[in-house]
Chains A and B, each alone.
Chain A
């Protein structure tokens, strides 16, 4: 009979696997109501004992009832071994329930195996732990996401720390939380690439590329570019991303840049497509990487950390390589060719995206003022004309990834414009050099200066 199947199952669990089979464990394993599980256990015990009275079977029972204690009645619920069952039943003045609690082959000395079995099975079924229970509660519904408070802006830096998780979550909670999702999406895209380097799921990359392109496209002023992006990546991603307010974008761009810096080491080739918008504007700020990379690297995987010393250079080379591919100009000789060759990307969509990315990058750089959120205490010295003295002041500056943007906001204005004025197909080296020249003193202080800085293109 089909009903007898459970008997065989229980037999297998108890005798072959030598398990402690509690009613709860059986209920979850066979997917039956708890009361049915209890009855099944009882049935099995009865039959087994009838067939073979010398069966190696130990049973524990649950007894509940009223117990007269210290003059008042107390409801007692106890798990007892079979041999103590009758004694316990006689102690209770009224018995409320008796049923089989568990069956096992060995005699249990104490109840910790029972607890462990139940704990394990509940842990694996946490999401529906009341599914087979005898009581249903109508009020126990999960809270709707808008009830949960929105993640505020200041929480972004811890968010960034959680990027590897956010990448996955950024996808799932997208519908629920529009403002932070954008951060998660972009940051997640970049972060996940770094983290997913060993895993490198194409799906994720594609989705991330979608997000990245969506972001950059969203940043584009001309609507035509949006349609091109739409066609390329699909409307769904676009609509979701467009739902975000514009003020979010500068912040996002800033964050886009920052994670992309750290992520630059990622080897996956499809990812480079998405990284391009950030990277282009990044290229100028690469010297700032080491500082930020360190903070970002704290919570990155180990395989990133081992490349710490070379990161700075590598990122630069990589971007150079990318852009030299995309640009028509001559490519510069990279100082360290080997790491580059490992990651020579050749993404087919690259040329198609170039046109998008150029205005995107300019847009991004123009608004890149706020991209970086790192605040650094810096000493700034200037001559106060009125007083006729030199003033040194310590100021928190928002340091960003580009060289040109690591000074006060006022100095950022000329720098992005500088970039915007450059020809669309420009050398990565040149990009690096130009802003570098502009903010050389401050930038050189904390960047590794490349020898290529001396070569200038007229």
Chain B
């Protein structure tokens, strides 16, 4: 994207100093509106049980699923609740999936004394061939078998199954369907090239310093210090930077205070303190030049349960002095220049990855869009706030850009829906590992990864980059 326009003046700075060099004004933000109010929690009370969230989820998605069922299996398809099932009758049931997995970590098993079990070490995937799917609705549950991919699906998905109940008490599935893509939003994108830079997993505070220069290069490109004139003028078209979580590294999470003796840790500071100071300086450099949205991630100092609340501005005294800094929730939804962005810091996708046979982050991302829910595994295996009025993770409108942060590689896909939806699916890679960020062009929903590298003790790493 940048390269073609910038190529003309690429070598321009390999010359003696010329007249006053040009300064490019940053392209102004024409329209920004923050749509993440459903994810902002005010007063929080954890006194409720989690059953309510499933109830509202089912109630919220049932109408859409019944519509889909009718359009797929005919208008006269019989819609039944589980309590009304008759043996042998072909009907359609809408309910929540539950996958019973033997390997699923259970806190009750861990603390059970009669088993004398050592807690299970974390595995990359917890699926097993013996897993079973169970469909639940408001009152009953029934085991599923048949034309349904047990390995692929995860708990919490709302599904409509078509089949009949058998005499062994199980439901034989002939076909099933999900909520499919939500209705499209009208398109009112910009008429010229406007870019949004997405980066995640800056990983500050980690022991290794390799990614630090790359982070500095990223900041320099965005703020217009790096590059020849052509590149700088292209960089001036970057209207926003979104940092999608994991600004701090996982190393800052270790708590010596628990393991070590008190006298050894008395005067030590938490690793995250230094890392947050570094983050503040980096954000300050960015904020003086471009609007920045900062989403918290798994290792950031905010609450653990989804939706994660914004980082507090007192932690970032230098940067929060600027109005260009926006501390936002995870998940985050906003309308930038008429283009609707929706994304998370990746916890939802990586959780589904653990409990499903799907291996590709982009595939999982697309799947969450197709089932109409950002994070079906919450609250089962992913921490979630006990909602009871409505489930904010249900997708009601189809965003134009749907991203997830902290993916292992950069991947993108432009998805076209039947009702005219056009979504750019984007997995933003972990910057501390890949030194890659993403540039999205709002004009035509194209995107390009941007990689930074420096030279180290070993020779260049050009070809060792991302592979699909």
Contacts and interface: CB of A to CB of B under 8 A. Distances in A.
Interface of A: 3, 6, 24, 27, 33-36, 38-40, 42-43, 46, 60, 62, 64-67, 69-70, 72-81, 84, 87-88, 91, 94-100, 108-112, 114-115, 118-119, 122-123, 126, 128-130, 132-143, 147
Please provide the 5 A-B residue pairs with the shortest distance between their CB atoms, ordered closest to farther: A135-B224, A97-B228, A111-B454, A99-B13, A96-B6
A77 B448 CA distance: 13
6 contacts: A35-B13, A66-B4, A76-B452, A98-B11, A112-B209, A135-B23
B74 interface: no
Interface string B184-226: 0000000000000000000000000100110011001101111
A377 B23 CA distance: 64
A126 to B, nearest CB: 6
Contacts, number: 242
A109 B22 CA distance: 34
Contacts of A94: 3-4, 7
Nearest to B215: A115
A38 B9 CA distance: 14
B455 A134 contact: no
Interface in B1-43: 1-4, 6-7, 9-11, 13-18, 20-26, 28-29
Given A77-B452, A94-B3, A139 B216 contact: no
Contact of A62 (B1, B15, B18, B226): B226
A350 B453 CA distance: 69
Contact of A36 (B3, B21, B322): B21
Contact of B290 (A36, A78, A132, A137): A137
A316 B25 CA distance: 64
A143 B321 contact: yes
A303 to B, nearest CB: 21
B448 A74 contact: yes
Interface string B220-245: 11011111111110111000000000
Given A66-B3, A77-B217, A39 B228 contact: no
Q: How many B residues are at the interface, by size bracket?
A: 35 or more
B213 A111 contact: yes
A112 B213 contact: yes
A134 B281 contact: no
Contacts of A140: 287-290, 322-324
Contacts of A119: 212, 216
A352 to B, nearest CB: 42
Contacts of A111: 213, 454-456
B156 interface: no
A95 B288 contact: no
Contact of B228 (A36, A79, A98): A98
B225 A134 contact: yes
Given A112-B209, A133-B225, A75 B1 contact: yes
Interface stretch (B120-128, B365-373, B381-389, B459-467): B459-467
Contacts of B260: none
Residue of B29, B220, B439, B455 with most partner-chain A CB within 10 A? B455
